[in-house]
Structure 1
Amino acid sequence: MGWLSKLGLGISLMVLLVSSSLLAVVLGYVGLVVYSAMMTGTPIVGLLIDMTIPYLPVVAVLLTLVVLSGTWFSWSLVRPASVPKHERLASVASRAEREVPLLGSLGLSDSLAPPEPTPEERAERTLAELKRQYVDGEIDEREFERRVDRLVSNDSLEEARADRERRAVLNDGERDRT
């Protein structure tokens, strides 16, 4: 995680506050000039045309800064929030990322995808499915024992535990480096 993403919330808030304040000052000044022209009877259309040339680029730049920094600020607030993970949401986000390449940099499909089951979870699900099939009478006792023996002979449960411990050690090492 880069320094920009760590400071994103603060930077975006500062840019939002400064640019929106400057935009308010510029628009307030334009409003004051128009109000003064109305009170003195000066034609407003000519005055607005004269003011458009020097102030339009300033207003456009400030308005762009307000919109971009507001979006960045909102994204910085929402991004760490807990987002429900679902395969359908991930597929919709993946399709949107293919259609709009700019969305690919946000990594929405990765953040919406449910986590892959660990080997231990897969083995436990397989064992639960075998038990269900045996109880429902879909397989007999001999077939159940054969499949359980194959599951255990693969040492899936032990491999899953070892894999989980390895990942925990690697994650601890990464946290220590950051």
Structure 2
Amino acid sequence: MGWLRTNLLWISLVGLLVSGGLLLVVVGFLGLVVYSALGTGTPIVGELLDVAAPVLAVTSVLLVATVLSGVGFVWALLRRASVPRSSRLAALADRIEREYPPLRPFGLSDALAPPKPSAEEQSANALAELKRQYVDGELSEREFERKVDRLVANESVDEARAERERRAVLDDRS
């Protein structure tokens, strides 16, 4: 499934060009049959009925293939499009998905949500917030130092836990 998803754009583009080109050839053939029937004076209905059975089946298959590959091409293009991410857009999409449940499987609110900050970014943001509170006078020097120590201790605990998990995975592979 991963290979198909990564190559969907090119597969659907080739399918669209091939099926669309063949559909144009078949429709052109039907136009040529009608034109020749008109030029010779023979009844058009008789000529079309002679050609209808095989051409109608081929035309319907090509039409379905063209539509499906066109939808796949547009879907692949939209998936590759650069979409702005913000919490406001995600909230709006979430509200729309709640109002119209058939839209939930598309995951629009997840696609528009800003990426979750990494652990490093979270700790940097927490430290910046502590600094701001200390500068604004909301925290005393003692409270600031205590909270910074707690933040650093939590980081070291998380790092130790991650190292233990890495070692366990490596031991399981051995």
TM range (shorter): 0.5 to 0.7
Aligned counterparts, 1:75-94, within 5 A: 75-80=75-80, 82-91=82-91
Matched, 1:58 2:55: no
Aligned positions, number? 164
Q: Is the 8 A contact 1:19 1:65 kept in 2?
A: yes
**TM-superposition CA deviations, 1:44-100 (whole Å, max 9, x none):** 5x4697479534443232122112112223434553455433334445555549722
Q: Could you say if the C-alpha distance between residues 148 and 57 of structure 1 is closer, same or farther in structure 2, counting changes exceeding 3 Å?
A: same
* 1:114 paired residue number: 114
**For the aligned residues, what is the CA RMSD?**
3.8
Matched, 1:156 2:158: no
Q: Is the 8 A contact 2:85 2:114 kept in 1?
A: yes
Q: Could you say if the C-alpha distance between residues 112 and 134 of structure 1 is closer, same or farther in structure 2, counting changes exceeding 3 Å?
A: same
Q: Which runs of no fewer than 5 residues in structure 2 stay unpaired?
A: none
Give the partner amino acid of 2:141: E
* 2:125 paired residue number: 125
Q: Is the 8 A contact 2:23 2:59 kept in 1?
A: yes
Matched, 1:100 2:102: yes
Q: Which runs of no fewer than 5 residues in structure 1 stay unpaired?
A: 174-178
Q: Is the 8 A contact 1:119 1:159 kept in 2?
A: no
- Relative to the length of structure 2, the TM-score reads 0.66
Give the partner amino acid of 1:116: K
- Relative to the length of structure 1, the TM-score reads 0.65
